[in-house]
Structure 1
C-alpha cells in the first residue's frame, strides 16, 4: 500500500533541520546553489538528507568560504558566536549595526544563504556545522569560551578564582561549570571589569581588540588577589585572563564580549578599502592599450607563421623545448617569459595545437587562417577571450617544479585551475580604481586581501604579479591604469560573478568562446586604433611606409613583395631583389606587381623601384632547372657557357651535355640555391616543362573543438535543473520508504544509517559534546551498540568515551552501521548560555 507523505501543516511542529529547510526552498534558489557550488551536484544527491550532508563536507565548505570577502567572513564568524536559530536583529546587535546598515547586513546574510553556509529564515538563522570548525575556536579575535580555558587549570588554581568570586570550593569538574555559569552573566562580567585598576583595564581592552592571546612570564600561576603585582597578576587572580600554558594567557570569550561594549563583534570591515595611485589619464592609458593590442596580435601572427612553415616538435614529456622557446623569443625580439606568454595565448585561443598521431608537432590550426583574415580588434578580442578562460599560468615557464625540473611552455605543469578565478578577481579589483588612475601595488593588494581574505601564500602573490604583467601586455592595463577595454571586461566578469547562468541563451560562435564578449571587446578597442588603410608611401630608397595598420588583404599582398623592416605606429617595408623574386616565384608577374603598387602607392611608384621590378622580372626564369638528378636548360648559349665556367658554380658539378642543356648530380632545390647565391635567377620546371611556383609550404592541424562559454553556461543550468528534479523525486521516494518502515515497526525516529549522515551526526556530536548511540560491527563481525561521547573524528577513525567500559576508545568509521541521538549534553560551551548548533 502506498504511504502518504505528511503535508506541510502536519510537520510544522517538527524540529527544524537543514534537510527540511532545503526541502522547502524554491527551485530557483536550489538551482542557484548548485551553480554556485557545483560539487554539491556531482554526482547528483539521491535526496535532501544527502544534500544536507554534502553541505557539511569540509572541502566543499572551505571552497565556498574562499569566495567570501572580509565583510562576509566577519558576519559568518559573528554567527558562529550566537546560538542556533537567531534573528537578524540579534545578529545586528552583536555586530553593532543599526539604521540603514541593517539592510547591508541582510544582503550579506542572503549571500551566505545562497552559498549554503547559512540556513534558516526569519528568526532561525543557523550556520552549517563545518563552518564552526573552519572558522576556528577564536573567531573575530575573541578567545575561547571560559569553560574551555579553565580546563588548563589545576584544582588549587580554580579554587583561588572561586574564592575571589565568592563561590564555594567543589570538585574540579563542578567548579569549572560553576565558574562558567558566573561568566555567562554579561552584567556580572561588566561589573568585574569596572573593579579592575586602570592599567589592568587597559590591558583587557588591548586583548579584547584581538588577538585574545598574550605572552607573560606570570601565565603559569594564579596569585592571591591581595598579593597581585602588576596588571597581569591582577587579571589572573580575578580569572579575567587565564593562563593556558607557562607563557601564554588568553582572554575568555565572555570577557572579550563584555569589554567590547556596544560593538561585541569588534570593528567590522563591510566596505572595501579605496584604491590610491597615480593619475595617468584615460587617453594615455587607452593609447598604451592600443599599442599593446597591435603588438600582441603581431607577435601571435609572427610565431604562427613561422610554425606554419616549420612546425616544432615538443618534448617527450610534453611542452616546448628551451631551444624552441629561445628561438621564439629571438623571432619576437623579446624575452623568453613574454614569448612563453604569446605561445600560451595562441594556444588558449585555439590558434595552435599539437597534431594527432605518433610524430607530434606544434603547428597552427585551421582556425588561424580564419583569424588572420579578421581586423586587428577582432583578432585581439579572440586572444583576450581565450586568455580569460584558460587555466594557464604562463609566468611559471622557466621555474622549477617540486622535482627540480624546469617547467616548459605548453606543458601540463603550467595548468593552474585557480588562475582563472584569480585573473578575474584581479581585473575586477583594478576596475575599482578611478578612471585614469594607476593604483599602487600596496593598495591593490590590500583590496585583493579584503576581497579574498582566506586566500594567501606565495603562489597567490605570484599569480597576482603574473596577471598584472599579462594584462599589461594585452592592453587591459595601460601604464598601470585600467583601460576602457579593461573596465568593460571587468564589468562583464562582475556580472558573471553575480549570476553564473547569465550567458545561457546568448549567441555563440562555432569555434568556441563567447561571441558576444568578443564583439563587445572589439567594438570597444576599434575607436582606440587607427583606421585600417590600403595605401603605402613608397620612397626612393626602396622602402615603403604604411601610415597605419593595413587591411588583412593588403598586408598579405605586400608581405609577398617586401620584407618588414620595422614596426610600430607605422610599419616600414623594404623591397629588394630577393623579396621581388619571392613574389615572382609565388606566381605574380611583373605587370601584377606594378598594378598592385600603383593601387597602393599614395604618391606614385619611384623610378628606382620600377627599374628593380622590371630588371628582376627580366632575369627571372631565364634559367630553368629540372630533375636529372637535375638539369639546366637555356636558349642563350652564351649565358649557359658563363654559368658552367663561373668559379662560383663549381660546387654544383655542372656538366654541359648540349649547347642549351647542362646537368648536375645535385637535387634541383640545391642547384637553384647555388645558382641564386652565384647571382643568377633560375626557376624550376616540371617534367612537362611547366614552371613550378615555389609557394611556401604551410602546415595546419585541425582545430580542436572548444566549448563556447555560453554553451557551458547553458549546460550547467540544464544540469542543475536536472539534478534538482532527481533530488526532489528521490527525496519523495525516500520519505515514503521511511514512513512505511516506521509504520511497520511502530516506532518513531531510529538509527541514521546513511554514511554521509552518520559522518555529519558524529561531527555535530563532537562540536556539541553530545552523547550518541553508536551501532558498529566489531572485528569478529558481531553487531554491537554503545552509548559514547565522541571527542574527535579524524583520518577514518572516531575517538570517543565509551560509557560502558568507562574508557576512551577508537572506532573505525567504516564499521559504524548507524547513529542515534541521545538526550543530555555534557559540558557544552555556550555564548549567553545557549548551545551553538
Structure 2
C-alpha cells in the first residue's frame, strides 16, 4: 500500500498522471527527473498557490472544510467528515469538489484517511472558512467552557447587545479583532472576562495602538453559525448573470460598426501626430494638452483617446523620434510620431487593420483605464507613461472576456454581474483585479470586440485557442486566430467603394469605406466634415489650391470628379476649379530672402498696398518684381492667408510642386506578451512527458539499487573509499556473464550524457556492442561497449 506522497503519484495509471499534469502544467516546466522530484514540486508553495488560484469559491470552501475537520493527532480527515460539515448542500456537489481536489493532489490518500498537502496551510489564510483555532489550543479556561455545551450556550445568550454584535461580526470571519483601550471596548472586555474571546499577540510585532488582539475560538464560531451553516453560505453553482438576450446578427452589426469607428479614430490620432508631433514629457508619456488635442482630432473623449494611443503604441504604429530644439542649438528632444509600419497598416483593409489593433490590445501590458487617475504619490498618470504599466493586465483582460465567452451568444450581462461571476470562478485571482476587469470590458466595447454588451462572433474567433491538428499533433505551429477573425469581419463590413456622390452645395458623400486610391485623392482635393458608414467631405477654394500645389492640374481635377462621381458634377464646382487654376501661379516667389514676381503689374500693386502684408516688408525693385527679407515659406503662407494663390519657383523659373513632408519615427517591433503560465499539455506531448517521467523513475530506482562499484563508476557519492573499475575488468565480467547466463549490473552513459544503471542478463558480446535482456526478460537492449563504465555480477 502506498504510504508516501511520491508513492501515491507513482501508483497512478498513466491517464490519471496525465490528467494531473494537464491540471497543473507548471509541474513539468522543466520536466522533473523522476516522480520523486515531481512529488517535491507538487508540494512546493509556488505550485500549490498557482493551483489554488484556478479553483472556484465552492471548491476552496470544501478545502477549508478538510482543514477544519483534520484530527489533531493524525492531521487526517475523511470524506464523511467533510460531508457532515457541508451538510447544507447536495452531497454529490461536495463529492465532486473533493474529487477535484484529489485529482489535483491538494488532497491525497484514501477517502477514509485524506491528508491536506502541507503547503496549503502556508499559502492560505490561517483561519480556514473564517473560523478561529480550537479552544484547547488557545486557552485552558476557554477549553473548559467549550467542553460544557450547555454552559457555553447560556453564556452566549447572556451577552449584552454590544457584545453579541461583536460575536456576530467575528463569527462571520475573520475571527480576530482588536481588544481596544477606550471605554467603548467594554463589550469586548466582558467577552474576554467570560472566556468567550481569548487575548492573543502578534509575534514579532510592536504593540498595536488600539490594544491587543482577541480571537474567537472555533467551537464558539461554529455555535454562532447555526443559522448559516458551519462553513457560511455555500454556493456550489456559479452566480450566472440574468443577461438580456440580443439577436447575434444585431450584435455583430453593432460591433462591426464600432470596429470601423475604432480604425478611423486611430488613423485620425496618428495623422494628428504626424502633422503636429507631441513632445515626450521628462517624466515619460504624453502631456494632458496633447491628449486633449488628439481627442478633439479623433472625435472621442480623453479616455478613448488614451486607449487608442496606447494600442497604437503597442501595435508598433506609434514611436519616438528625436528632433532638434530651436531655442537651444545642439539640444534634441524626443517626440511621438507615427512609424513606418503605420503607412503599411493604413494601406491594408479595414478588417486586417482592426485585428492588428485588437491583438495589440489583448497582449499589451498597459492599462489605459489608469490614464487620468492619480498614483500613490498623488501624481496624475499620463498616457504612455511608465505608471500605467501593469504586468497582469493581459491576463485580467482575457479573464474578463472569457466570462463573456462562456455565456450564450447574444447574452448582454451587466458588468457588475460579470464581476460577481469572476469572483466566484477564481476568487483568489479576481481579488484586487476589479479595476483591470472593468477596464477590459470598456476597451472591448470601444474597439468593437463586443457589440451592444455581448461578445461578437469575430471577437470569439480572436479569443479562441486552436487545438493541435493531425498535421501538427504537438501544437508547435498553432494557427493564427486573427486570420479567421479577418475573414469573419470582412463579411460584416461594407465593401470598399470606388465612387462618390457630389452634391450641389459642393459636399462629397462617400457611401461606404473608400478604397485606398480614392481615400488618397479625397485627402488632396477635399476637406473632411464627418465620418462614419458614409463619410462626407467638402470641396473648398483652399482644398483646390492644395491639390494644385501638390501637382494636380485643372484638367486632372475635372477628370477625377467626372470619373468618380455617380451624380452629375455641379457647374459651381467646375467654376471653382477653373477660377482657382486661373489664379494659381499668378504670383511667383523665390529666395532673396524671398522675392515675388508677376507679369500682372496691377496684381503686384494690389499686394504691395495690402495692409495685411505689411509684416512681410515688401518693396518693389522692378515693375514686375517685389522682394522681402522674410523666408519663402513665410511669404507663401501670408499670401495664401490673405486670399492670393502664389506658387514657388526654382532658380530657373520653373514652378516647384511640393507635397507636405511626411515625418516618421523609426520602426518599432511590437512587444507580444504570451499568455501567462505554461502551455497546456495535449496529445503526444503529454504522453511523451508521462513516459519520460516513468523512465526517469525506473532509472533512478535502479541506480539506487546498483552495487557500490557501479555507483562509484557513475560518479555518484558512495561511503568510504572505492576504486573505480577499469574498462578491461568490466569487459571480463560481461564475457563471463554471457557464458554463465547470469544477471549483471551495468553502468553506462547514454546518448544525452546521462549516467544510468540497469540490471540485465547478457546475451551476446560482439561487434562493439552488448546485447542483453532486461531484468524481467521482456525486451532486448543494445549497449555500445565504449559507453559502459562498470559491470558487476548480481549478488
Tell me which residue corresponds to 1:791. Answer: none
Asked if structure 2 preserves the Cα contact closer than 8 Å seen for 1:624 and 1:633, the reply is yes
Residues 227-249 of structure 1: per-residue CA shift (max 9 Å, x gap)? xxxxxxxxx9xxxx886789864
Residues 492-540 of structure 1: per-residue CA shift (max 9 Å, x gap)? 27989xxxx9974124xxxxxxxx2222333333344333222211111
Asked if structure 1 preserves the Cα contact closer than 8 Å seen for 2:339 and 2:666, the reply is yes
Match of residue 393, structure 1, among 356, 367, 370: 367
User: Higher mean Cα deviation, 525-534 or 18-27?
Assistant: 18-27
Judging changes above 3 Å, is the alpha-carbon distance between structure 1 residues 735 and 700 closer, same or farther for their aligned structure 2 residues?
A: farther
Tell me which residue corresponds to 2:437. Answer: 464
Asked if structure 2 preserves the Cα contact closer than 8 Å seen for 1:276 and 1:433, the reply is no
Judging changes above 3 Å, is the alpha-carbon distance between structure 1 residues 310 and 503 closer, same or farther for their aligned structure 2 residues?
A: farther
Tell me which residue corresponds to 2:295. Answer: 329
Q: CA deviation at 1:275?
A: 0.6
Tell me which residue corresponds to 2:61. Answer: 74
User: Higher mean Cα deviation, 362-371 or 623-632?
Assistant: 623-632
Report matched runs for 1:552-631 at 5 Å: 552-631=516-595
Tell me which residue corresponds to 1:422. Answer: 396
Q: CA deviation at 1:363?
A: 1.2
Q: What is the root-mean-square deviation of aligned Cα atoms in Å?
A: 4.9
Q: How many Å separate the matches in 2 of 1:679 and 1:134? A: 76
Q: How many Å separate the matches in 2 of 1:253 and 1:522? A: 61
Asked if structure 2 preserves the Cα contact closer than 8 Å seen for 1:308 and 1:364, the reply is yes
Q: How many Å separate the matches in 1 of 2:365 and 2:694? A: 32
Tell me which residue corresponds to 1:62. Answer: 49
Q: 3-state DSSP class of the match of 1:519?
A: helix
Report matched runs for 1:134-145 at 5 Å: 134-145=123-134
Judging changes above 3 Å, is the alpha-carbon distance between structure 1 residues 502 and 195 closer, same or farther for their aligned structure 2 residues?
A: farther
Query: Which sections of structure 2, spanning at least 5 residues, go unmatched?
Result: 158-163, 177-186, 201-212, 324-331, 722-795
Q: 3-state DSSP class of the match of 1:368?
A: helix
Residues 65-93 of structure 1: per-residue CA shift (max 9 Å, x gap)? 23322133234334435667888788778
Residues 349-371 of structure 1: per-residue CA shift (max 9 Å, x gap)? 22112237964221112221111
Asked if structure 2 preserves the Cα contact closer than 8 Å seen for 1:209 and 1:260, the reply is no
Residues 318-364 of structure 1: per-residue CA shift (max 9 Å, x gap)? 11112211221222233322211111121122211223796422111
Report matched runs for 1:339-418 at 5 Å: 339-355=305-321, 359-418=333-392
Report matched runs for 1:23-172 at 5 Å: 41=29, 55-56=42-43, 58=45, 61-81=48-68, 104-105=96-97, 108-109=100-101, 112-113=104-105, 117=106, 126-145=115-134, 147-148=136-137, 151-154=138-141
1:440 pairs with 2:404: no
Judging changes above 3 Å, is the alpha-carbon distance between structure 1 residues 588 and 506 closer, same or farther for their aligned structure 2 residues?
A: farther
Q: CA deviation at 1:101?
A: 5.1
Q: CA deviation at 1:742?
A: 7.7
Asked if structure 2 preserves the Cα contact closer than 8 Å seen for 1:391 and 1:416, the reply is yes
Asked if structure 1 preserves the Cα contact closer than 8 Å seen for 2:241 and 2:418, the reply is yes
Match of residue 719, structure 2, among 744, 762, 765: 744
Match of residue 250, structure 1, among 217, 240, 250: 217
Q: 3-state DSSP class of the match of 2:421?
A: helix
Q: How many Å separate the matches in 1 of 2:408 and 2:675? A: 34
* TM-score, length-scaled by structure 1: 0.67
Judging changes above 3 Å, is the alpha-carbon distance between structure 1 residues 503 and 576 closer, same or farther for their aligned structure 2 residues?
A: farther
Aligned residues: 664
Q: 3-state DSSP class of the match of 1:572?
A: strand
Q: CA deviation at 1:61?
A: 3.9
Asked if structure 2 preserves the Cα contact closer than 8 Å seen for 1:95 and 1:264, the reply is yes
Match of residue 455, structure 2, among 459, 478, 482: 482
Residues 253-301 of structure 1: per-residue CA shift (max 9 Å, x gap)? 997799899x986764332111114455445544432332222111110
Judging changes above 3 Å, is the alpha-carbon distance between structure 1 residues 249 and 536 closer, same or farther for their aligned structure 2 residues?
A: same
Asked if structure 2 preserves the Cα contact closer than 8 Å seen for 1:585 and 1:694, the reply is yes
Q: How many Å separate the matches in 1 of 2:63 and 2:238? A: 17
Q: How many Å separate the matches in 1 of 2:665 and 2:23? A: 35
Tell me which residue corresponds to 2:785. Answer: none
User: Higher mean Cα deviation, 85-94 or 101-110?
Assistant: 85-94
Asked if structure 2 preserves the Cα contact closer than 8 Å seen for 1:320 and 1:408, the reply is yes
Asked if structure 1 preserves the Cα contact closer than 8 Å seen for 2:127 and 2:175, the reply is no
Q: How many Å separate the matches in 1 of 2:113 and 2:669? A: 49
Tell me which residue corresponds to 1:764. Answer: none
Tell me which residue corresponds to 2:210. Answer: none
Asked if structure 2 preserves the Cα contact closer than 8 Å seen for 1:55 and 1:61, the reply is yes
Q: 3-state DSSP class of the match of 1:534?
A: coil
Judging changes above 3 Å, is the alpha-carbon distance between structure 1 residues 24 and 350 closer, same or farther for their aligned structure 2 residues?
A: farther
Asked if structure 2 preserves the Cα contact closer than 8 Å seen for 1:92 and 1:105, the reply is no
